[in-house]
């Protein structure tokens, strides 16, 4: 997706981008330090060009880096990893792009705790990255790619998917599906165990309730007998 058209930020988003508060933006707007744009309904918004201007960065002098990101699940797939690198290097060379960093990552696409992947997202938020190139969506993340793409777009980072299905190993998809099934089976087992516990608790509660009910009836009968005895006397 080309991010050149995704340039508008709400005040809260722009404040986070500049690491200031919304009140600071409002004050700067009043003081003409950083004047907000206005929609036809008089809502404030800012553009990425304003961010670059405020930071003293020209679009033509964008020094943020271009990153190739590659991933496989295990170190036994190093050949697949290098195939991704070679494929993407060929692509950027054809486009005349200069790559600043090549990331070779290991781990499941379902794992959101991948160290190198999180470091890359951190650099995205620090406005150090201009473009990320991947050979397939699932090389970046197995599920939720669209969300992460929009997240990167907020920082004017473009994710280029140079789609090559051959570089998305079928075995990895099977492994990830197995992992998902394992997680749900564990949860179902836990729910069954919890259900038995609830049923046990309900049985205990019902027993206590029945016992209390029996005791209450017995007490009422005793009181009734006592009243009749007093009347007879």
Q: Would you call 29 exposed, middle or buried from its count of C-beta atoms within 10 A (0-12, 13-18, 19+)?
A: middle
The answer to whether 73 is a known catalytic residue is yes
The DSSP bridge pattern shows strands 37-38 and 44-47 to be: antiparallel
Q: Whole-angstrom Cα distance, residue 62 to residue 44?
A: 26
Which has the closest alpha carbon to 168: 179, 160, 176? Answer: 176
Burial class (CB in 10 A: 0-12, 13-18, 19+), 32: exposed
Closest CA to 83 of 72, 99, 97, 94: 72
Q: Pick the catalytic residue: 4, 63, 73, 229?
A: 73
Diameter of the chain by CA atoms? 114
Helical pair 115-125 and 145-153, crossing angle rounded to 10 deg:
30
Rounded Cα distance between 159 and 148, Å, is 9
Active-site annotation, residues: 73
């Amino acid at each position: 997706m080309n991010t050149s058209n995704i340039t508008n930020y709400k005040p809260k988003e722009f404040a986070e981008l500049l690491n200031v508060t919304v009140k600071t933006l409002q004050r700067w707007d009043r003081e003409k330090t950083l004047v907000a744009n206005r929609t036809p309904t008089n809502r404030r918004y800012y553009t990425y060009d304003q961010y670059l201007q405020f930071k003293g960065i020209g679009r033509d002098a964008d020094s943020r880096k271009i990153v190739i990101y590659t991933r496989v699940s295990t170190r036994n797939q190093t050949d697949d990893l290098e195939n991704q690198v070679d494929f993407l290097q060929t692509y950027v060379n054809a486009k005349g792009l200069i790559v600043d960093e090549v990331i070779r990552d290991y781990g499941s696409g379902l794992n959101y705790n991948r160290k190198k992947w999180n470091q890359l997202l951190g650099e995205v938020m620090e406005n150090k990255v201009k473009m990320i190139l991947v050979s397939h969506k699932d090389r970046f993340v197995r599920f939720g790619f669209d969300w992460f793409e929009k997240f990167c777009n907020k920082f004017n980072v473009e994710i280029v998917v140079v789609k090559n299905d051959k570089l998305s190993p079928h075995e990895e998809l099977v492994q990830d599906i197995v992992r998902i099934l394992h997680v749900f089976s564990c949860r179902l087992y836990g729910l069954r165990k919890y259900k038995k516990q609830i049923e046990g608790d309900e049985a205990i509660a019902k027993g206590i309730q029945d016992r209390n009910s029996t005791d209450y009836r017995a007490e009422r009968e005793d009181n009734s007998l006592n009243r009749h005895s007093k009347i007879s006397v």
